Amino acid sequence: MSKTLVEWARGNGERPPIVATAAWKGGDGKSTTARELAYLLGAVLVDFDWDDGCSSRSMGYRHERYVRFPLREAFEKGTIPTPITGRRMADLVPSYPAWVEDQPDRETITSALEKWAVHWGRPLVVDTHPGGCEATYGAVDAADVVVVPAVLVKDSLSALSGMVNELSSHPLLIVPNKVSSPPAWARKKFKDIVTRHGGFPTGPLIREEKWIEKRYLNIAISSEPVPKQAQKFVASMDALVEAVINYA
Ligand SMILES: Nc1ncnc2c1ncn2[C@@H]1O[C@H](COP(=O)(O)OP(=O)(O)O)[C@@H](O)[C@H]1O
Ligand SMILES: [Mg+2]
């Protein structure tokens, strides 16, 4: 029987669920997926990417305007950050450029995320930098589900191949993204990767939507009212929510 969002959000009795988005290749759709998932799940979005193409920036957060950063303070003082309240988008703990060198080790990250989820009493979605770094490893170690968007092109599939071998014991949910009409060899390679190590669950297929990269609005694509051109995409995000909350 499928869980409701409210049931899922309570978590395992010890803490609310933690979801991470991760991929060893940039540009495959981690941040887009993370923002929509966090919004639809009612989760706090924790941004661990420090590049200017990160979620924080596309949600309107400008690090240039600040001298204090919630992630830096949290790890320097061992305190719990206060998320910025989102309107028609997820609540956010933003990132900042120096996070690349400030980020603590993997274990510190994992235990902080677990503590924050308990303290806030809310699920987390953690968006990560492409590839493995301490913050990414800490996030995937904390995660109950790791959403891995994967584009069916050569470089992305190579990156996916290395990633699943490295994280084969993590709870991966592999989601084909930006799908138009992948050639047979790409579909075959994808199938080969997702059937390794006893097989990984795959999420709903997300179609390539040309309008997404031209979009300048900060609000979640899934926030109502959903424009007509976005309805198919939002349906795939709803299906992804189902896959995440029923991940076994
Ligand atoms: N389903 C999709 N169809 C078309 N473009 C997409 C789709 N998902 C994401 N994009 C675009 O691809 C680019 C990279 O996406 P992003 O989510 O920032 O990836 P990442 O965080 O993995 O680097 C962005 O310009 C984004 O708008
Ligand atoms: Mg990103």
How many whole angstroms from 13 Cα to the centroid of ligand 2? 31
Query: Which residue has the CA at smallest separation from atom 14 of ligand 1?
Result: 27
CATH number of 5-245: 3.40.50.300
Amino acid at 54: C
Q: Is the CB of 131 under 6 A from ligand 1?
A: no
What ligand is nearest to the CA atom of residue 95?
2
158 exposure class (CB count in 10 Å sphere: 0-12, 13-18, 19+): middle
pLDDT in tens, 46-104: 999 999 889 999 999 999 999 999 999 999 999 999 999 999 999 999 999 999 999 99
Q: Is the CB of 26 under 6 A from ligand 1?
A: yes
pLDDT in tens, 204-247: 999 999 999 999 888 999 999 999 999 999 999 999 999 999 99
User: Is the Cβ–Cβ distance between 96 and 69 less than 8 Å?
Assistant: yes
Question: 140: closest CA among 150, 152, 128?
Answer: 128
Vertex 131, ends 130 and 136: CA angle to 5°?
85
How many whole angstroms from 58 Cα to the centroid of ligand 1? 12
Q: Which residues pair with residue 126 across a beta bridge?
A: 20, 46
Query: What's the pTM?
Result: 0.97
pLDDT in tens, 136-185: 999 999 999 999 999 999 999 999 999 999 999 999 999 999 999 999 99
Query: Which residue has the CA at smallest separation from atom 26 of ligand 1?
Result: 213
- CB pairs under 8 A, 24+ apart, for 114-119? 114/15, 114/18, 114/142, 115/80, 116/44, 116/46, 116/80, 116/81, 117/11, 117/15, 117/16, 117/17, 117/18, 118/14, 118/15, 118/16, 119/80
What are the percentages of helix, strand and coil residues in the chain, rounded to 5?
45, 15, 45
Q: Is the CB of 30 under 6 A from ligand 1?
A: yes
Per-residue pLDDT at 52: 85
Q: Is the CB of 162 under 6 A from ligand 1?
A: no
Question: What is the residue extent of each domain of the chain?
Answer: 5-245
DSSP 202: B
